[in-house]
A = this chain, B = another copy of it.
């Protein structure tokens, strides 16, 4: 992948001078699918901009239960990395590449400098927070108010959108883990969805036919 032109395309809103600097100082890091970018307790040293792929950001408790927070896509940035980096704090979250992924790491020192210098950077940081916050609220809504069948539909829609594909290669066990449920329950709900014609079940894979809102 031609990272330079890619960066330019993804971050058009940056002033030319800022864009140039981003390309100069940003460290490109690649991650394989399933690889962890960040784990609970780990120190964060740089802000992360996504160039390619999808990153799942989630939270895990002591017993290994997880809560999905949101996915990050090209052109987006990790809000957590920004604040934690800025204050040298450790993160309380996990981040994992869903597919092969490429990110740009911006050293923390520059973040502050840029914020004071480039309006577009400051706007970008704010916008990053705003969107992550909204996404987190959306997640909260679903967990608080929706039943598992609706949350499963939501899960499928998220993945369809993030992966830009109607085929989701995940075991029911993993889906259950992500929704804080159990395999058996997901199995039964999936069967219902299949009966209603929303999905088609394959071995180790769910095909999304049409998910009405």
Please list the residues of chain A having a beta carbon within 8 angstroms of any beta carbon in chain B: 59, 61, 65, 67, 69, 79-80, 82-84, 86-87, 89, 92-93, 112, 115-117, 119, 122-123, 125-127, 129-130, 132-134, 136-137, 139-141, 143-145, 180
**Nearest-CB residue, chain B, relative to A130:** B83
Task: Identify A80's interface contact among B65, B69, B133, CB under 8 A.
Answer: B133
Residues of B within 8 A of A112 (CB): 119, 122
Question: Contacts A83-B129, A126-B83, A129-B129 given: A93-B143 contact, CB under 8 Å?
Answer: no
Q: Verify A87–B127 contact, CB threshold 8 A.
A: yes
Sample (26) of A-B pairs whose CB atoms are under 8 Å apart = A59-B137, A61-B145, A65-B144, A65-B145, A67-B141, A69-B140, A79-B129, A79-B133, A82-B126, A83-B127, A84-B130, A86-B123, A86-B130, A87-B126, A87-B127, A87-B130, A89-B130, A92-B137, A112-B122, A116-B116, A116-B119, A125-B126, A132-B133, A133-B133, A139-B140, A145-B180
CB distance from A5 to the nearest CB of B (A): 28
Residues of B within 8 A of A140 (CB): 59, 67, 69, 136, 139-140, 143
Residues of B within 8 A of A119 (CB): 112, 116
**Nearest-CB residue, chain B, relative to A131:** B83
Residues of B within 8 A of A144 (CB): 65, 67, 143, 180
